[in-house]
């Protein structure tokens, strides 16, 4: 593999795409989602799924119902016939009427907030029996993740609360229980692993929004600005954040704090910024300085030791990824140009994104999982070298073959115009020659300013 020459130079900022409306999921897409899940159940012999949700872990439930239970818990019982029962707490019973798939509503006050009324109280096992679990033989439990231990099987690892698992066991006559989250998020056949054109348009809204926010926050960085003022730039249009917002200057995690404070940015500080919405995350890390002469003692070679090689890894990621590539090959590409032994990264250098910021990843050492058309992936390479500030330019792209690209351009021409403009910026301004398979969903893909006060300087390929 040829390593591209990286340079820090005067570069125009990417254009923000403004006034982009959210795209709702169509009824056709919801039917397609349900059919994908039912096909997975049939393939693996499940005659029912029990799909759990709370505010933080609602993606698999929301995939079919269209909503999360917010501050409560909920369970969706899906039978192999397609019949579904939504078991809901006090304040979400009304949402059954809005479910995107038809459901029978069942009230379970145990799913409500503490000390709320327990009207209609009955054993949860009885509710599961009434939902049909008593006659089932193989039931899949779906929390929010699958387990992939190297020394054993993950089928008996359950991330649902015990009182729910216990009630399921009581409601059945010795049915086999297995973790079935992979039917949604895992491997080649997980229902949520790929997206159609409607889903890509739906998720691009959040990716676009996050990149606009990160560009606004970067432009607002000046000595004296408070973290919370930068944090305010990282919110937009009242949308729900998929990760904790980061606006952290200087030493992070003082007194275990994760959130922006009134702490003021000082010249010379390291500064981290992160924002995420459904469909996309944008993250940056660098110094609040204007040129390399201001780098702190011991980090004068920061550009050569950390930031430049990191950008080179992002370039290699973008220029090599394509539909049909094994995930392990992408992992090896990053290991070759940005060896973990030297740069300290230890997670997956890329993962799938959807309603949550990290859904799962086909990119790991030895992975034979194929990168497919319709995947939405986040560039997520995190260097960690002792004595040095990190570097970050996390962003999201979709993979699309010719057929999917044609559908997007036909059904969502304005989205296609935005994708085309972002590609042009990457190819012509940053000189990154990405495959036609790669669709940038955010405006700031690969845009990295290591010095926040040098607002017109960024890395590019020479």
Looking at the chain, the whole-number percentage of residues with pLDDT higher than 90 is 97
Burial class (CB in 10 A: 0-12, 13-18, 19+), 1: exposed
Neighbours of 241 (CB within 10 A): 18
What distances in angstroms separate CA 143 from CA 361, 373, 383, one per listed residue?
Answer: 17, 26, 31
Mean pLDDT of 287-304: 97
**380 pLDDT more than 60:** yes
Mean pLDDT of 222-241: 97
Could you read off the pLDDT of 44-61 as tens digits, one per residue? 999 999 999 999 999 999
pLDDT at residue 151, rounded to an integer: 86
pLDDT at residue 3, rounded to an integer: 67
Tokens of 72: 């409560």
Mean pLDDT of 380-385: 96
Residue that the structure tokens 């070298």 belong to: 385
Kind of pairing between the strands at 138-142 and 280-287: unpaired
Mean pLDDT of 285-302: 97
Helix axes 27-44, 197-220, angle to 10 degrees: 110
Could you read off the pLDDT of 149-158 as tens digits, one per residue? 988 889 999 9
pLDDT at residue 173, rounded to an integer: 85
Could you read off the pLDDT of 339-357 as tens digits, one per residue? 999 999 999 999 999 999 9
Contact assessment for residue 432 and residue 14, using Cβ atoms and an 8 Å cutoff: no
Confidence grade of residue 2 (pLDDT, cut at 50, 70, 90): low
pLDDT at residue 152, rounded to an integer: 87
How far apart (Å, rounded) are the C-alpha atoms in residues 323 and 392?
A: 25
Confidence grade of residue 1 (pLDDT, cut at 50, 70, 90): low
Neighbours of 461 (CB within 10 A): 17
Could you read off the pLDDT of 435-454 as tens digits, one per residue? 999 999 999 999 999 999 99
HEC-encoded secondary structure of the chain: CCCCCEEEEECCCCCCCCCCCCCCCCHHHHHHHHHHHHHHHHHHCCCEEEEEECCCCCHHHHHHHCCCCCCCCEEEEEECCCCEEEEECHHHHHHHHHCCCCCEEEECHHHCCCCCCCCCCCCHHHHHHHCCHHHCCEEEEECCCCCCCCCCCCCCCCCCCHHHHHHHHHHCCCCEEEECCHHHHCCCCCCCCCCCHHHHHHHHHHHHHHHHHHHHHHHHCCCCCEHHHHHHHCCCCCCCECCCCEEEECCCCHHHCCCCCCCECCCCCEEEEEEEECCEEEEEEEECCCCHHHCCCCCCCHHHHHHHHHHHHHHHHHHHCCCCCEHHHHHHHHHHHCCHHHHCCCCCCCEECCCCCCCCCCCCCCCCCECCCCCEEECCCCCCCCCCCCCEEECEEEECCHHHHHHHHHHCHHHHHHHHHHHHHHHHHCCCCCCCCEEECCCCCCCCCCECCCCCEEEEEC
pLDDT at residue 4, rounded to an integer: 78
Delimit the domains of the chain by residue range.
6-23+193-461, 47-179
Could you read off the pLDDT of 73-106 as tens digits, one per residue? 999 999 999 999 999 999 999 999 999 999 999 9
Confidence grade of residue 434 (pLDDT, cut at 50, 70, 90): very high
Residue range 47-179 in CATH 3.40.440.10: no
Tokens of 345: 């990264």
Confidence grade of residue 227 (pLDDT, cut at 50, 70, 90): very high
Residue range 6-23+193-461 in CATH 3.90.230.10: yes
Could you read off the pLDDT of 178-191 as tens digits, one per residue? 999 999 999 889 99
């Amino acid at each position: 593999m040829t390593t591209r020459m990286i340079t820090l130079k005067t570069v125009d900022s990417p254009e923000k795409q403004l006034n982009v409306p959210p795209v709702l999921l169509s009824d056709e897409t919801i039917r397609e989602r349900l059919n994908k899940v039912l096909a997975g159940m049939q393939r693996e012999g499940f005659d029912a799924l029990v799909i759990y949700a709370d505010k933080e872990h609602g993606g698999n439930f929301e995939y079919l119902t269209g909503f999360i239970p917010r501050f409560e818990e909920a369970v969706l019982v899906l039978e192999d016939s397609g019949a579904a029962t939504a078991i809901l707490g006090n304040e979400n019973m009304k949402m059954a009427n809005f479910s995107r798939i038809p459901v029978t509503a069942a009230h379970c006050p145990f799913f409500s907030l503490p000390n709320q009324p327990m009207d209609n109280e009955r054993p949860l096992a009885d509710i599961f029996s009434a939902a049909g679990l008593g006659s089932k033989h193989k039931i899949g439990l779906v929390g929010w993740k699958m387990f992939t231990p190297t020394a054993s099987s993950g089928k008996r690892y359950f991330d649902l609360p015990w009182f729910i698992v216990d009630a399921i066991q009581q409601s059945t006559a010795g049915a086999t229980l297995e973790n079935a989250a992979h039917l949604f998020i895992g491997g080649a056949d997980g229902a949520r692993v790929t997206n159609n054109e409607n889903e890509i348009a739906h998720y691009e809204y959040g990716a676009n929004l996050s990149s606009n926010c990160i560009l606004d926050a970067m432009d607002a960085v000046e000595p004296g600005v408070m973290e919370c003022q930068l944090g305010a730039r990282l919110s937009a249009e009242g949308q729900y954040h998929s990760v904790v917002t980061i606006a952290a200057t200087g030493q992070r995690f003082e007194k275990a704090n994760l959130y922006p404070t009134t702490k003021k940015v000082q010249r010379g500080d390291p500064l981290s910024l992160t924002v995420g919405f459904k469909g996309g995350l944008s993250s940056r890390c660098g110094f609040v300085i204007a040129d390399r002469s201001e780098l702190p003692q011991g980090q004068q070679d920061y550009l050569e030791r950390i930031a430049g090689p990191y950008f080179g890894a992002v370039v290699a990621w973008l220029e090599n990824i394509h539909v049909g590539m094994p995930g392990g090959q992408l992992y090896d590409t990053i290991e070759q140009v940005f060896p973990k032994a030297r740069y300290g990264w230890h997670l997956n250098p890329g993962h799938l994104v959807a309603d949550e910021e990290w859904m799962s990843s086909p990119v790991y050492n030895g992975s034979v999982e194929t990168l497919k058309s319709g995947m939405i992936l986040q560039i997520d390479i995190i260097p960690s070298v002792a004595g040095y500030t990190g570097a970050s330019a996390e962003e999201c792209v979709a993979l699309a073959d010719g057929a999917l690209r044609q559908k997007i351009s036909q059904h969502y021409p304005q989205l296609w115009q935005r994708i085309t403009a972002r590609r042009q910026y990457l190819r012509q301004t940053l000189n990154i020659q990405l495959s036609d398979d790669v669709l940038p969903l955010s405006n700031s893909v690969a845009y990295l300013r290591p010095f926040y006060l040098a607002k017109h300087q960024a890395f590019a390929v020479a």
